[in-house]
Amino acid sequence: MQNYSTSKHAEQFVASIGIPMDRFITQRQREFPYAKGELSQLLRDLGLAGKVVTLSIAHSGISGLEGLIGGTNVQGEEQQKLDVVANIRFIRALTKGQQVCAVISEESDELIDTNNWHGRYVVAIDPLDGSSNIDVNVSIGTIFSIYRRKTPVGTRPTLEDALQAGTEQVAAGYIMYGASTLLVYTTGYGVNGFTYNHTLGEFILSHPNITIPEDGEIYSINEGYADDFNDGVRNYVRYCHEKRFRGRYIGSLVADFHRNMIKGGIFIYPSTRQDPNGKLRLLYECNPMAFIIEQAGGIASNGIKRILDIQPRGLHQREPLVLGSTNMVNQFMDCIHQNYAPETNSEVEFIDF
Ligand code: AHM
Ligand code: MG
């Protein structure tokens, strides 16, 4: 039997858990020879806004923050009060932090100019994802993606800064507001997760070096739309049924993604008859999750192309998304490219009850 208490792996594990995120970020700064601490500061700013939003969510029921605000966002979706609160908190933190020259937000039609023209970074953010779960105390999240700007420092940021392929991300992450608040991020050197400790007011390293199992038995897709999927996606769903995989679908991307990354699984938001490009937005939903899952050892695709290779054409562009454990995503690809036909006459005997 392996002696875990003396293995190198165990030493690393024990040594790293418990480090406050601030210290972890400072230690890791050397991974960015070009950076002078601005990216570290930016990650801290996101963490700070995440703490404030954690409080707003926790008190939403008793402070009148539940429910709709009475307006719609650029995508015509009804805005919840907490959507708006989270948007304000994150944009304020990024603006005051001064490292970011422009923000792309799910809640804002146009590119937001923070007036920090000396900031070197651009952030794409979904301030509060999983709107349908906000009022029912189910996990929701913030998703973010960080790029270096393309235009010269000191000038007005433009769409050229915003419309960068996912391969250009320098960092990406999410904050999950669940049973605990968890901040998970990557800078391209693995994936690490930090749990918020309310007493200390700090994010503490709790999930060092997260990797996704190569295989899994969880599939996450909204099967309510099955009649609107194409045959390939329906084939894959039937394959999951045949394999007796477990269906798990929260309807909050962050929560579904996080569970699948830890346990092994596949998340699919395909194109449907109504929405040929799917629902999820490339810049602040697909790209950050794709960067994280690849760093954890998994795959992310739109069914044809690697997500990170897609050249964005618009701030709120949507893409079909499939991501997760390598073997599961590869099997999905076989199904959608019709290399797999499910057994139609399986000889299963059903027992009446
Ligand atoms: P939102 O940004 O309006 O909250 O929508 C995104 C969310 C994702 O978190 C989730 O994966 C998906 O919408 C669920 O959509 P559906 O209810 O169509 O299954
Ligand atoms: Mg969203």
Residue ranges with CB less than 5 Å from ion ligand 2: 126, 129
First to last CA, the chain: 46
Looking from the CA of residue 77, the nearest atom of ligand 1 is 3
Describe the crossing of helices 253-263 and 287-295 by its angle, rounded to 10 degrees. Answer: 10
Query: Which class would CATH give 218-339?
Result: alpha beta
How large is the average pLDDT for residues 345-353?
A: 48
Ligand 1 contact via 77 beta carbon (within 6 Å): yes
pTM of the model: 0.90
Residues carrying CATH 3.40.190.80, the chain: 218-339
Q: What is the pLDDT of residues 299-333, one digit of tens each?
A: 999 999 999 999 999 999 999 999 999 999 999 99
Ligand 1 contact via 253 beta carbon (within 6 Å): yes
Looking from the CA of residue 126, the nearest atom of ligand 1 is 2
Residue nearest to atom 15 of ligand 1 (CA): 251
What pLDDT, on a 0 to 100 scale, did the predictor assign at position 346? 46
46 vs 220: CA distance, rounded Å: 28
What does the block give as tokens for 256?
């579904």
238 vs 300: CA distance, rounded Å: 21
- The residue with tokens 């959608």 is 336
Looking from the CA of residue 252, the nearest atom of ligand 1 is 9
Pick the CATH number of 21-207 from 3.40.50.2020, 1.20.910.10, 3.30.420.40, 3.30.540.10: 3.30.540.10
pLDDT level of residue 203 (50, 70, 90 thresholds): very high
301 vs 268: CA distance, rounded Å: 10
How large is the average pLDDT for residues 166-186?
A: 97
308 vs 320: CA distance, rounded Å: 13
289 vs 52: CA distance, rounded Å: 23
Enclosing H/E stretch for 296: none
Residues carrying CATH 3.30.540.10, the chain: 21-207
What pLDDT, on a 0 to 100 scale, did the predictor assign at position 2? 46
Q: What is the pLDDT of residues 35-47, one digit of tens each?
A: 668 888 999 999 9
Q: What is the pLDDT of residues 222-254, one digit of tens each?
A: 999 999 999 999 999 999 999 999 999 999 999
Mean pLDDT value across the chain: 89
Ligand 1 contact via 252 beta carbon (within 6 Å): yes
348 vs 346: CA distance, rounded Å: 6
177 vs 159: CA distance, rounded Å: 31
Whole-number Å distance, alpha carbon 88 to ligand 1 midpoint, is: 21
